[in-house]
Amino acid sequence: MAFGANTTGDTTFIDVDTPYGPLRFKVASFHPKPKYDSISVTPLNSEHEEWIAPRGWEGDLEIIRTDATADNFFAQWEADFYAGSPSMTQPTTITETIKETDGSTSTFKYTGVALKLTDPGKRENGKPITMQISFTAKRRLKS
């Protein structure tokens, strides 16, 4: 739901499509960040100049464990890796869909995604398990 003229996190929806099929997570937070390279040059006859080039994206997904989807995915990926299977050489895509305050929808696709389970979550009596997945992506494209 939007808060006044502001977009809030609950108006953002995340879909993850992998070579193993789509993953459906209960996403608690999604934090994408662009990566850049910069080259600084100071010519003798001019002021300092800086060139900035995009170098992909990185980010974090925080998910609430509602079933074994994430655990099964990473267990299968690890088993395939050690078996020499090329399944994960095919890219993963993350689709971010945002319902804007004016009722329109914005969709962004993160392509060439590599996923990494960074924290499978603390198992504690009576508390939800929150898992952390980090990712890198080659591009972020508006759909």
Q: pLDDT value at position 44?
A: 86
Q: pLDDT value at position 1?
A: 46
Residues 129, 65: contact at Cβ < 8 Å? Answer: yes
Q: pLDDT value at position 46?
A: 83
Tens digits of per-residue pLDDT, 81-115? 899 887 666 789 999 999 998 889 999 999 999 99
Residue in 65, 54, 57 with CA at minimum distance from that of residue 96:
57
Residue spans of the chain under pLDDT 70: 1-9, 87-89
DSSP label at residue 142: E
Those residues with Cβ within 8 angstroms of residue 17's Cβ, 6 or more apart along the chain or in another chain: 23, 92, 93, 94, 95
Q: Tokens 């895509």 belong to which residue?
A: 93
**Calpha distance 24→94 (Å, rounded):** 11
CATH of segment(s) 9-142: 2.40.30
Give one word for 106, left, alpha or beta, with left for phi > 0 and alpha for psi -120 to 50: beta
